[in-house]
Amino acid sequence: MPTPIHERRLANAIRTLAYEAVQKANSGHPGAPMGMADIAEVLWRKFLQHNPTNPKWLNRDRFVLSNGHGSMLQYALLHLTGYDVSIEDIKNFRQLHSKTPGHPEYGYTAGVETTTGPLGQGIANAVGFAIAEKTLAAQFNRDGHTVIDHKTYCFLGDGCLMEGISHEVCSLAGTLQLGKLIVFYDDNGISIDGEVEGWFSDDTQKRFEAYGWQVQRVDGHDTAAITTATEAAIAETQKPSLIICKTIIGAGSPNKQGKESSHGAPLGADEILLTRKTLLWEHEPFELPEDIYREWDAKARGQALEQTWQAQFDAYQSAYPELAAELLRRVNGDLPLDFAQIAHDYIQSCQDNPENIATRKASQNTINALQPHLPELLGGSADLAGSNLTLFKDAKVLEHDAAGNYIHYGVREFGMTAIANGIALYGGFIPYVATFLMFMEYARNAVRMSALMKQRVINVYTHDSIGLGEDGPTHQPIEQLASLRATPNLNTWRPCDTVETAVAWVEALKARHTPSALIFSRQNLPHQARDLAQVADIAKGGYVLAKEQHTLQAIIIATGSEIELAMQAHAQLSQSGVGVRVVSMPCAEVFMQQEVNYRDSVLPPMVRARVAVEASHVDYWYKFVGLDGKVVGMTTFGESAPAKDLFAHFNITTDAVVQAVQAVL
């Protein structure tokens, strides 16, 4: 049935803001906002529970624009409903330091829940939101007191569904029965290169039905049909829902609608004049009549929704004061008050009780020690729990227990990491995920996104070098550490023993606005002797592990398993009268954040004779040793053989370190 003129006019307010902003910026994507305007009008005016005056209201519905290139759709909605997005902000679309960047960015714009743009990751974040909502509700709701109860809505397009990550996360969403996840698919058949039927002919309905989703098809410009489908999706509490909305990209543009020309470029001044006539829009650019604003304004309704919920929470707080306090602590992202002392005591116990074990096992021991004090930890692994050693003593798997604390992600490294980003963004949890370091490559862009969004996601990567042995070069990471270390706002820790492993975990947990990569060995590593000051200095990212026994002449910098080689070289060189110190550098990023006086005390600038040793690509370490220094490491891919044979074959040995020091002196 045709959409009522009144509703069409409200949707046209979105369309005009979108094409005018893109035209003014001379950059952007008007097609998706114009095509999805009717869907957005239905969802945001009839169903979405949110409060523009408090965008962080705990029990709000979450909205994700996975097809983030259509960002003007979201900005228009935020502006119209009353968020802190002014018409001047709309006019500054895609300009430096504006609230309306080219793609929605978390932290820039009130009401934007996650940064989207890399296609497919928005729907992955939405799955993370839905997991977090379901789990937090199961952990905190009580009979008669439902304080966590809301939906996660997501818009996506053809590009999101073509990206492989959408398969990973939507498959898992069906398995986990995320019934409060509702997705609207903008089925317009157009991408940048033209009509997608030449390269995307999937039967999307059957695909999602096979995942275990509820699937409906509607005319994406029929508001009555969209309303009915949304009501049916809300009524389905077990299965996630996909509403396939057949739309016309650039709807309203007489010459460009339905064509790729409306996808990623301004309509043009002449076409905008024609579009205004087609839409019967008689107002000047960026001018909206007051009755449009009145109809869209969601502030009063949002405040009423939050007030009703606040009364429910107050009753909950009276009935369960400790539980309410714990919920607030967790959603605020605060660690328990006694965590610092617990962490300190555990780190010291590792130093006092030496163990020669693999750092992946030391990591598991640390999780077991800290998790009972951190109920917000939500762990998981990409089908490698027995190798990553990420399962802990009291782990409860989400698939079997909605109030659980561990997710078997299956072989879904990319999806896993992007889901974890959504969980972190939602709040109330500190997610950690795990795979082999080599397979970080599958997750690389999601790791980057957590760093960009400043989210506390902990990435556990084991089997960290040629030391993993016989699995060979396909599984032996070479360039991955350099890639991680090159990522802004990411702390990469590669500890050498149980003590450094414990510190790495503690510092990752404390880093509220920085994700971490924890890099652990497959093979056993020896415990290193330290005094109390050295233990404290580990948290600074780099410290003097072995002091020089003669006048300082040279410095050896090492990480992880190669600390053992550095220490053996130190002993040999010291015995021959060379003044050499060993610097352990478990996290170069944190070390570089220290005051210059501390850094110079560890790496005195006048001591230019420096050698770095790490069973990884050599290039990274020249920033510390200089072009005149030496790096003992890898410049090729590995081989399949036992670890001890590989270290000898690639000349990553104690003798090689000694010879390198002698060469730079």
Q: What stretch of H or E contains 273?
A: helix 269-279
Contact between 284 and 276 (Cβ < 8 Å): no
What span, in angstroms and rounded, lies between the C-alpha atoms of 597 and 208? 58
Neighbours of 564 (CB within 10 A): 17
Contact between 76 and 17 (Cβ < 8 Å): yes
Neighbours of 117 (CB within 10 A): 18
Q: Tell whether residue 119 is among the known ligand binding residues.
A: yes
Both structure tokens of 476: 């032996």
| Phi-psi domain of 212 (left: phi exceeds 0; alpha: psi -120 through 50; beta: other) | left
The amino acid that residue 128 corresponds to is G
Both structure tokens of 478: 């070479």
Contact between 109 and 86 (Cβ < 8 Å): no
Q: Tell whether residue 513 is among the known ligand binding residues.
A: no
Q: Tell whether residue 190 is among the known ligand binding residues.
A: yes
What span, in angstroms and rounded, lies between the C-alpha atoms of 79 and 271? 24
- Is the C-alpha dihedral spanning 180, 184, 185, 191 positive or negative? negative
Angle, helix 413-426 to helix 164-175, in steps of 10 degrees:
70
Q: Tell whether residue 392 is among the known ligand binding residues.
A: no
Q: Cα 2 from chain centroid?
A: 41
Both structure tokens of 74: 């979201």
DSSP state of 81: H
What phi and psi, each to the nearest 5 degrees, are found at residue 165?
-60, -30
Q: Tell whether residue 159 is among the known ligand binding residues.
A: yes
Rounded to whole angstroms, the maximal C-alpha distance in the chain is 91
Contacts of 326 (CB under 8 A, 6+ apart): 140, 375
Closest CA to 212 of 180, 186, 175, 182: 175
Closest CA to 79 of 274, 284, 299: 299
| Three-state secondary-structure class, residue 396 | coil
Q: Tell whether residue 97 is among the known ligand binding residues.
A: no
DSSP state of 177: T
Neighbours of 198 (CB within 10 A): 8
What span, in angstroms and rounded, lies between the C-alpha atoms of 205 and 208? 5
Q: Tell whether residue 570 is among the known ligand binding residues.
A: no
**Among 413, 548, 589, 614, which one carries the catalytic annotation?**
413
What span, in angstroms and rounded, lies between the C-alpha atoms of 60 and 112? 12
Q: Which residues of 231-240 are buried (b: 16+ CB within 10 A; e: fewer)?
A: eebeeeeebb
Q: Catalytic site residue 413? A: yes
Neighbours of 398 (CB within 10 A): 20
Q: Tell whether residue 456 is among the known ligand binding residues.
A: no
Contact between 67 and 160 (Cβ < 8 Å): yes
| Three-state secondary-structure class, residue 612 | strand
Q: Which residues of 282-318 are buried (b: 16+ CB within 10 A; e: fewer)?
A: eeeeeebeeebeebbebeebbeebbeebeebbeebbe
What span, in angstroms and rounded, lies between the C-alpha atoms of 154 and 125? 9
Closest CA to 183 of 202, 211, 148: 211
Q: Tell whether residue 428 is among the known ligand binding residues.
A: no
Q: Tell whether residue 515 is among the known ligand binding residues.
A: no
Q: Tell whether residue 167 is among the known ligand binding residues.
A: no
Helix and strand numbers, DSSP H then E, in the chain: 27, 20
What span, in angstroms and rounded, lies between the C-alpha atoms of 561 and 464? 9
Q: Tell whether residue 29 is among the known ligand binding residues.
A: yes
Q: Tell whether residue 263 is among the known ligand binding residues.
A: yes
Closest CA to 12 of 324, 278, 201, 243: 278
What span, in angstroms and rounded, lies between the C-alpha atoms of 160 and 155? 10
Q: Tell whether residue 188 is among the known ligand binding residues.
A: yes
Q: Tell whether residue 475 is among the known ligand binding residues.
A: yes
Which residues are annotated binding-site positions for Mg(2+)? 158, 188, 190
Enumerate the known binding-site residues for thiamine diphosphate. Answer: 69, 117-119, 159, 188, 263, 439
Binding site per annotation, positions for substrate:
29, 263, 360, 387, 463, 471, 475, 522
Binding site per annotation, positions: 29, 69, 117-119, 158-159, 188, 190, 263, 360, 387, 439, 463, 471, 475, 522
**Residues classed as catalytic:** 413
